[in-house]
Structures are given as C-alpha cells and as structure tokens.
Structure 1
Amino acid sequence: MNKKTLHILIVLLLTLVAVSTRTYWRGSVLEWMAAGVFIVMAGIPHGSLDHKLAQHRNKNLKLLFYILGYVAAAVFFLVVWLWFPGWAFLLFLLLTAWHFGETDIASLGFHKTSPVLVFVYGTALTSWLLLQEPATLLYWTGIITHNSKVALTAVQWITGIPVLIWFGIVAVIVIFNPNVTLFTWPQRLLFLLFLYLVSKTSLLIGFILYFSGWHSISAMLHVHHAVFSRSGFKTMLKQALPYTAAAVLFLFAIAWLSDGTWLSNHALPALFVLLSILTLPHMTEMHKLYMHPNPEGKS
C-alpha cells in the first residue's frame, strides 16, 4: 500500500468516525476541541516550513529578513481585515480556492495543468465544503465581516447554486484525470467518498477534516519531497516544531492585542481571521513550489 492510498484511508476512517458519532459531539465543546487539535497538529505545521522552501530556492537567503517580511505580510492582511472585512473575506475565499486547487491538482498527479483548471477545481471544492449549511455560513459571514453587504450578497448568491453541482465538478475533474498511474481508480473513488462524507459531519468539522486531514498533510508530503527527501520525514517534523510553536504564539498575541468587537466576541470568527492572515505569505511560497512541473517528483 503506497503513501497516498494510506493517507486517503486514514482521512476516510476519521470521517467515518466523525459521521457515526456526530450526535455526541455536534454543537458541543468537543467539536471545538477537535477542530483546535487538528489545526495545531497539521493545519499550522504545514505552513511552518515555508522558510525551508525559500532557503531551498535561495541558498543565500537571510532568514531574519525573510521572517520579518513574512510577518509583515500577515500583519498587512490583518489590517485589511480590520478596515475592509467584507473584501478581505472574499479575497480569502479566492486565495483558499486557488491554494486548495494547486495542492490537490498536484496530488492528483496531473502532468499538465492550467490556471483555469486549478481555479475551477479549487472553487468547486471550496464551495462544496462551505455550502453544506447555507444558513450557518451566512450567519458566520455576517459575524466575521461585521455584516458587510458585499460579503453577504456574494455568499447569498453562491448559496443559490445547488451544492451537488460543485461536487459534480470536482468529481468530473478527479475521474477524468488522465494520469491513472499516480492516482489510481481505487484512490479516486475513495477520495470522492471521503469528500462526500465530510458533508455529513458539520460545517466546521467537515472543513477541518479536509483542511488538516487531507490538504495540510498533502502539502507537507510535497514539501518533504522537494526539500527533505534525503533527510527524512522525522527531520522535517523537527524542523517544523519551533516555527509551529512560534505561529501559535503569534496568533495568540494578535488575538490578545485585537480588541475589535467583531473579532473578540466569537471564537470561530477569531480563529478564522487569525489563521487567514497567514494564508497570503504561505500561499505565495507553495505557489512557487507548484510552479515546478511535478512537485511529487514522478513522471
């Protein structure tokens, strides 16, 4: 059994457990605790090696200046959130769609990709993950964006599209992937089953299962191949640990310093915004990795 099949089976098993036990955790503190654990264990660590990608491309990189630039980009996006929450929310969704698309298209083994394919797949996938509970999404959009008209109007428009259409678009791209060597038929069917079952959990847990369980681990495997293929996975995790801790402390510091009522009154919006501010610099580094013709290193 190869690593990709094992990865799909693990996230599928976790999703089946979540679905079968949802009456016990849904809407309770357990849901929040599970989301937090998954984010700390995989979500944040998968972005903690961006400096290694940069150093791999540029051996003369000054780490201190890189970190300062990285933090500055995150702070800039936070300022955008504070001043223009509606537009920041929409920008974040577009960045998320592109980032998810790039990572999955690489994992699916496409030899030749186009920006259109990446964005269509990423948009359909992100819509599928977020539109399972339209009323809940609208509620949190209002809180996150301080009832921004532009954000609420956009979400209301997109919720009018039947959610299965988004899943259908994802399924068509997965099924008609011409590379049957890197992504076999059993893997495709199991992957689509996983994506379908996340919709039977909850908006929060479904998104976290994909984001932390599938996307983050896939991205780490890509980084491992690009930078740590000789030193091993354990070495990579050790390298990620201090920067993961620093990222967690940075998020706590921002949360403590931010006193906007829209940010501090609810845990989910705060978590959403604080994680999103790291998206811009992280997505930039991963995009540079995916510009390589084959991030997984296979032909």
Structure 2
Amino acid sequence: MADPVSIRSPRIYASVLAATLLTVAMGAWSGASLGPWAFAVLFVAVTVTGIPHGAIDHLVAAQLWGLDHTWSDQAKFYGGYLAAMALYGGLWLIAPAWSLAVFLAMTMYHFGQADLAYWGLPPLPARFLYLSRGLLLIGGPVAAFPGIVDPIFRAIGGVHLLNWPLIETAPNVLFAGLAGQHVLALGVAALGAEVDPLREAGREMLNVAVFTALFGLVHPLVAFSVYFGLWHSLGHILELLRFFRRRGEAMSLGNFYREATLFTLLPFVGLGGLYAAAQSFGQETEMIALLFILIAIMTLPHMVVVERLYWEREQQRSPAP
C-alpha cells in the first residue's frame, strides 16, 4: 500500500512554495506594516493546521507506547500531558525570561526535526542540523525586525531584545550569518544523508533562500504564520497520515480532522476570545504575547510525543548489534 503524500510531494510542495513566495511579494510591497489582516492570518494558520497538528497526540501516543482505551492508560496519557502543561505554565509565572529561553530552544529543535528528519542522519549530526535549521527559523525574524519583536519579547518574558550586542550593532550581519550557517550545515550533512544529496540538498537550499526572503522581508507575525501553518503544521499532519499507514491503519485527511475536532475546538474558543479582545481593545502586543505563551505550554508535551515518534524511526533505521 503506497504511503500518502508528504509536504515534499510535488504538488503540495509547489503549492506551499507558491503561497510562501506570494507572501514574500506582498510583504516586500507593503513593507513591515501590521494591519488587522496580519493577526487574522496568524489566527487562521493556528486554527486550521496549527492546533489540529497536535490534536491527535493521544492517538499517536497510544500507538507509540501501546496504550489501551482503559481508564488507567488514559489517565497516564492525559495526566502526564496536563501535568507537563501545568508545570511549564507555572514556570512562566515564576521565571518568564528562562521560560522564553526554553521555548525558543525547544522550538528551534522541534521545527528543525520536523523539516529534516527525513534525511535519515545519525542521531548526533541530525540534532545539530535540526538546531541549525531552527536558528534560521527563529533567529531570522528576530535579527531582521528587532524593533517589532522586542515589545513581544518584553511582554512575554521581560526580555529587552534591543539591548543584545549584535542585535543593537549589526542585525543585518547577524541575519546573514544565521542563513549562512545553515547553508554550511546542509552542505556538510548532505554528505552523510540517506537521501539523494543532489536533489534533496538542492531543494533544501531553495527552501533556505525562500525562508531567508520570508523572514527578511515580511512582518515576523505574518512570516511565522505562513511557516507554522503551511510548512510545519501541514507537514506534520501529512507525516501522521504516513505514520498510521505504516502501522496498518488507514487514515485519510478527513479522518484526521474528525479525530482532531474536539482538541481543536477547545483551544479555538480561547483563540477566538484573544482575537476579539485584540480587535476590541487594540492590545495586539499583549494578545500576541499571550498567544505565544499558550502555544509554548501546549508545545512541551506535544514535542515529547513527536520526539518519541522520530526516535522510534531512528531505532528502525539503526543496524542491529
């Protein structure tokens, strides 16, 4: 039985690439202004693919850890999931700056892993490559638009971004360095990858060019929305379809969204309230900061599930001792 499509399937990849380039063109034309539509773009990206991509973690965990539909097994999963969210949420109240640092670090790793795990590298070089991709994705918009990101960082964790040495003195050099280090990392990693180095390295070099344009020319809120919604979340949803197919369970895109409905709608209510509050009171920075904190709290347990998924695949690729 053939695997379902992935984010790298020609038609899907071409569509995502086209949408991203259209965003880059619009961003270059309109500049870094943030109109009401930009917050709406984030809202749509988070609700259509962002939240759903982690909304069936309970089904994925059941496959990975062999959990049944018993009360005890369900309590193990939901108890652990909610406990991780509660502990991390408490950390935001106690040490917001450290919580922000943890969020940025785990997001860099998580994004890079989702993008490049298919290269099939050994564990150590793979993780260096993941962090290299994440540095570009997270550090790029920070270096390109420090004046825009700084108020959000201050609202989230009391971090004064504009006081950082390179951000203050040479943001353009820093941005170029972030892109350059990933080009170098891809070139080195391609030598040991399981994939066709010419084709896949070439495509990833194109992706780097597109991401550099996206995060360098487009308002960081819109750029994040496009990457998070189209590249990361959609890619993960398609990866889950492949995961269940390998497990012998047919799951279509329609099946996925039906299974994800409950845990998509619950956060959707809160996001709707955030959007309404931002529109009514004009406190966009505070609302965006709160939104990212909520994303961070939900990301921690989700990342544990995803890490297990990719760890299992690494074990299957590793030769038997």
The normalised TM-score by structure 2 is 0.77
Distance 1:213 1:264, change over 3 A: closer
Q: 2:228 is matched with which residue?
A: 211
User: Pick from 147, 172, 182: which aligns with 1:170?
Assistant: 182
The answer to whether the 8 Å contact 2:53/2:237 transfers is yes
**RMSD between superposed Cα atoms in Å:** 3.1
Number of equivalences? 285
Distance 1:265 1:254, change over 3 A: closer
State whether structure 2 residue 303 is matched by structure 1 residue 283. Answer: yes
The answer to whether the 8 Å contact 1:124/1:167 transfers is yes
Identity of aligned residues (%): 21
State whether structure 2 residue 28 is matched by structure 1 residue 9. Answer: no
TM alignment of 1:32-181, pairs within 5 A: 32-61=39-68, 62-107=73-118, 109-114=119-124, 115-145=127-157, 148=158, 151-152=159-160, 156-157=164-165, 159=167, 162-176=174-188, 177-178=190-191, 179=193, 180-181=195-196
State whether structure 2 residue 260 is matched by structure 1 residue 243. Answer: no
The structure whose residues are more often helix, as a share, is: 2
Which letter does structure 2 place at the counterpart of 1:181?
D
Matched residue SS, 2:89: helix
The alpha carbon displacement at 1:158 in A equals 5.7
Residues 214-264 of structure 1 deviation map (CA, whole Å, 9 limit, x = unaligned): 111222222222224541332223212222113334667999xxxxxxx99
The alpha carbon displacement at 1:167 in A equals 0.8
State whether structure 2 residue 250 is matched by structure 1 residue 231. Answer: yes
| Alpha-carbon separation, structure 2, partners of 1:204 and 1:112 | 34
The normalised TM-score by structure 1 is 0.82
Which letter does structure 2 place at the counterpart of 1:49?
I
The alpha carbon displacement at 1:185 in A equals 5.1
Residues 80-126 of structure 1 deviation map (CA, whole Å, 9 limit, x = unaligned): 1122111111111111111112212214x233231333333323432
Q: 1:19 is matched with which residue?
A: 24
Which letter does structure 2 place at the counterpart of 1:208?
S
What stretches of structure 2 of length at least 5 have no aligned partner? Answer: 276-282
Which structure would you say has the larger Rg? Answer: 2
| Alpha-carbon separation, structure 2, partners of 1:153 and 1:226 | 40
Distance 1:189 1:249, change over 3 A: same
